Structure 1
Amino acid sequence: MWRGLSALAIQAAWAPHRLCARCSTGGESLIPRSTIFALSSGQGRCAISVIRTSGPASGLALRSLTALQEPPPARKACLRLLRHPCSGEPLDRSLVLWFPGPQSFTGEDCVELHVHGGPAVVSGVLQALGSVPGLRPAEAGEFTRRAFAHGKLSLTEVEGLADLIHAETEAQRRQALRQLDGELSQLCQGWAKTLTKALAHVEAYIDFGEDDNLEEGVLEQADRDVRALEVALCSHLRDARRGQRLRSGANVVVTGPPNAGKSSLVNLLSQKPVSIVSPEPGTTRDVLETPVDLAGFPVLLSDTAGLREGVGAVEQEGVRRARHRLEQADIILGVLDASDLSSSSSCSFLDTVVAPLVEQSNNSGGSGQRLLLLLNKSDLLSANAPACNTALPPHLLLSCHTGAGMDGLLQALKTELAAVCGDPSTGPPLLTRARHQYHLQGCLDALGHYRMATDLALAAEALRQARRQLSHLTGGGGTEEILDLIFQDFCVGK
């Protein structure tokens, strides 16, 4: 049916199919769109591979490969023989799904081909699609970008989708799924409605301030709404770092005097030989890092040099780096030798590291760096002997050699990580990116200008600025540079 038509004629036939896309200034313009195709499932040999298209020529592509006069029923899987549109050579028997726009992921006409996952089959079908006029291979993230342009996803939902694809732990998956479901977007939309209502009240007072028909107390109501919104924004900004830690990983640093068992603990927690374990003091002379999934939370676990003085230049540099890394830690695992707590190195560690951290935690109400003090080598203690004769802060007994006490340590770590990263299953949605924090802070600053304004016109402009910041957060008026940055981590086919 279509083989005798030129590419120009086909494009003219599909000319009514155009995409309403946001331009960089936040407005909308009708622009023609090409049709894209890509392998959306993983590369390599597998049982099933999913190839999909999006764009006005998706129907043409489906007809070209299946020799159908009409597409199959919408959103219903049908078994069809795929043939090359030029040679007519059979390619594969495939499950075919037709998603006419706008009821599709991208908002455009879409086709999914579920083919057998052999490399030759996938390559043949992709080559066949490439021979259809008007089709081209998709770029990375282009399907999702079209969904955003069609208003199918807000920008925060796009970020949630990216985080879901890259999630490696249970907590990351839960948080990303909540953001993809639109919880953060809906929260921002609720705030925007509050600002719109307050702005309407202020502008009504400007226009009809002397009108007897104007409802009393409109300015007071606007002030109350703005104050309540300021409280909500401050609350979310205070928790902004938790969401970012949940997305990128919390910094957990293992520290202590030499030969306390730090490297053994790192190897045990990471379940792989990250650090060299030796009875010789000062084996670790640099910071060794490894990403770890601890109790479902993402963690960057760091092994550091043993803290002591009077050592050589190389080890002393390791000690300096260890102290610097301690300053960046979210959670510190302080490790001591339970059988040698009276040694000078143990006492020095308790005085110079543990005591200041405990004092800082008490003064900050537990909002600063978090410390778990571990007494390792508990297997060397006699059954009747106390662990130590000195008063110690709350601590856990552990044996990296036998594994005793590991369950208690993991449970304590889970509690600390939940406090540091937030619980993705409960509470309000977290801010997972610095961009979120930037726009919410901009909104809060604008509300501050509203409170300080002595002129109603200036107050109204401050409310507009605050609303504009929320619009930027969810995607309205975003620049192309920001969009390119967000979509750069998407894979081809998504």
Structure 2
Amino acid sequence: MIELGRDTIFALSSGPPPAAIAVVRVSGPGALEAAWTIAGRPPPPRRAGLRALKDEDGRLIDRALVLVFPKPDSATGEDLVELQLHGGRAVVAAVERALAAQGLRRAEAGEFTRRALANGRVDLAQAEGLADLLQAETEAQRVQAIGAVEGAVSALARRFGERVLALSAEIEAALDFADEDDVVVDLREVGAAIATLRAEMANLVARPPVERLRDGIRVVLTGPRNAGKSTLLNLLVQREAAIVSPIAGTTRDVIEVPVVVEGVAYLVSDTAGLVDGTADPVEAIGVERARAAAQVADIVVWLGDDAPPAGAVWVWARADEEGRGAPPSGVDVATASGRPETIAALWRLVGTRTAQAPPRADLPALNRRQRDLVEEAAAELVADDDPLILAERLRRVRTALARITGADATEAMLDTLFGRFCIGK
């Protein structure tokens, strides 16, 4: 585990002032002494006590609630003190000056949680979940993030690890007691168990990743020139996000607009009109980007008059336009600028089509790092008639699964993760 400095840190852990209440946290070996110095005799552990906070010259700063959490049973695993102040800027600034005057330093982004990781209060998967929880903007994001914080991903990795460890024990027994008649290991049964485990890991990796909740379900509007894609984008996101013009080929690049509908985050993309060939090099780049966007979309919305690509939602746009006529057979929904109910109908259809795209609330979803490790583990789950080779493969599987909870956490990895946190977390 990565060693952290033994200095004592402090930070404002609530929202920026002014506010009704401000919470300042202090963590480290000098936290209790700092509480004595600034607040006098602290209250009993985990019991709030009203104290007069004073600066280094004995002048009253504020009257605040003080809570003390001795190590190791604290959020960080260190001695920790919370000061619940009146939330004015001057009050918070005075308390921070008084703490700094004792030699304490301001915390860096995510440093409280980083110390909790170093002291075994949380593992890496839980810390990643907490980072997602702090940035959650939709209910779906919150549900998945709180599951990770509560250990859903970690528990899944441990269960896989325990099953692999049991298989390893059988193989090791076969190697260590090969000459003993009473130790019999059926490699066919081991192979069947390995195949089952591999299939379960493959199913887990095939689930939608947690990034879908944060980045949004990718909805790409595509079709020929002047099909009404930009108009439809503006109607879907309810603002003028794209330039609308009767001139064919106005849109030259992919325009991405985030929107939340019914608690689900979407990333809706307008694209250049598709053509088989063009002499305009800029338009050619736009067409190529449009096709690339459609290939990685979770759902494609096709606005052409001809039959759509397989699996796409076929929209008959501009249905209220004079002379437009009736939509052809097979169109999923007809939309019109002056009929909001048609846009609502399209959103309902998109929601139905993408119902399986977001991670399910009752199943843990993995982030990219975790998915890569499960894929790495699954790739090693190959039955082999040679127990020595099989034992080594299973060891690699256990190592990959252990890394999900942080067995291989590096400074660079942790710097990136905790850079997503606020200062006081």
Q: Provide TM-score, normalisation by structure 2.
A: 0.91
Q: CA deviation at 1:312?
A: 7.3
Q: Within 5 Å, give how 1:399-438 maps onto structure 2.
A: 399-423=336-360, 425-426=361-362, 428-433=363-368, 435-438=369-372
User: Which deviates more from structure 2 when the two are superposed, residues 112-121 or residues 305-314?
Assistant: 305-314
Corresponding residue of 1:375: 316
Question: Aligned partners of 2:301 and 2:408: how far apart in 1?
Answer: 45
Q: What fraction of aligned residue pairs are identical, expressed as a percent?
A: 40
**Letter of the structure 2 residue corresponding to residue 421 of structure 1:** P
Count residues in correspondence. Answer: 424
1:233 lines up with 2:192 in the alignment: no
Tell me the SS of whatever aligns to 2:381.
helix
1:224-251 deviations in Å (ceiling 9; x for gaps): 4323211211111222x54332333232
**CA 1:320–1:224 in structure 2 vs 1: closer, same or farther (change >3 Å)?**
closer
User: 1:56·1:108 contact (CA, 8 Å) conserved in 2?
Assistant: yes
Tell me the SS of whatever aligns to 1:48.
strand
1:292 lines up with 2:259 in the alignment: yes
Corresponding residue of 1:190: 159
Q: State which of 44, 47, 53 in structure 2 corresponds to 1:76.
A: 47
Corresponding residue of 1:249: 216
**CA 1:469–1:112 in structure 2 vs 1: closer, same or farther (change >3 Å)?**
same
**CA 1:193–1:309 in structure 2 vs 1: closer, same or farther (change >3 Å)?**
closer
Greater gyration radius: 1
Tell me the SS of whatever aligns to 2:210.
helix
Tell me the SS of whatever aligns to 2:401.
helix
Q: Within 5 Å, give how 1:184-223 maps onto structure 2.
A: 184-214=153-183, 216-217=184-185, 219=187, 221-223=189-191
User: 2:24·2:84 contact (CA, 8 Å) conserved in 1?
Assistant: yes
Question: Aligned partners of 2:5 and 2:366: how far apart in 1?
Answer: 35
Corresponding residue of 2:240: 273
Q: State which of 469, 474, 483 in structure 1 corresponds to 2:400.
A: 469
User: 1:375·1:398 contact (CA, 8 Å) conserved in 2?
Assistant: yes
Q: CA deviation at 1:158?
A: 0.7
**CA 1:391–1:39 in structure 2 vs 1: closer, same or farther (change >3 Å)?**
same
**Letter of the structure 2 residue corresponding to residue 185 of structure 1:** S
Q: CA deviation at 1:444?
A: 1.5
Question: Aligned partners of 1:447 and 1:324: how far apart in 2?
Answer: 34
User: 2:43·2:49 contact (CA, 8 Å) conserved in 1?
Assistant: yes
**CA 1:465–1:411 in structure 2 vs 1: closer, same or farther (change >3 Å)?**
same
User: 1:201·1:218 contact (CA, 8 Å) conserved in 2?
Assistant: no
Q: CA deviation at 1:481?
A: 2.5
Q: CA deviation at 1:46?
A: 2.1
User: 2:174·2:185 contact (CA, 8 Å) conserved in 1?
Assistant: no
Q: State which of 315, 318, 334 in structure 1 corresponds to 2:302.
A: 334
User: 1:77·1:97 contact (CA, 8 Å) conserved in 2?
Assistant: yes
Q: CA deviation at 1:386?
A: 7.4
Q: Within 5 Å, give how 1:296-311 maps onto structure 2.
A: 296-308=263-275
User: 1:309·1:316 contact (CA, 8 Å) conserved in 2?
Assistant: no
Tell me the SS of whatever aligns to 1:404.
helix
Corresponding residue of 1:343: none
Tell me the SS of whatever aligns to 1:158.
helix
User: 1:253·1:333 contact (CA, 8 Å) conserved in 2?
Assistant: yes
Q: State which of 35, 47, 60 in structure 1 corresponds to 2:33.
A: 60
Tell me the SS of whatever aligns to 1:75.
coil
Q: Provide TM-score, normalisation by structure 1.
A: 0.79
Corresponding residue of 2:150: 181
**Letter of the structure 1 residue corresponding to residue 97 of structure 2:** Q
Q: CA RMSD in A?
A: 2.5
User: 2:21·2:86 contact (CA, 8 Å) conserved in 1?
Assistant: yes
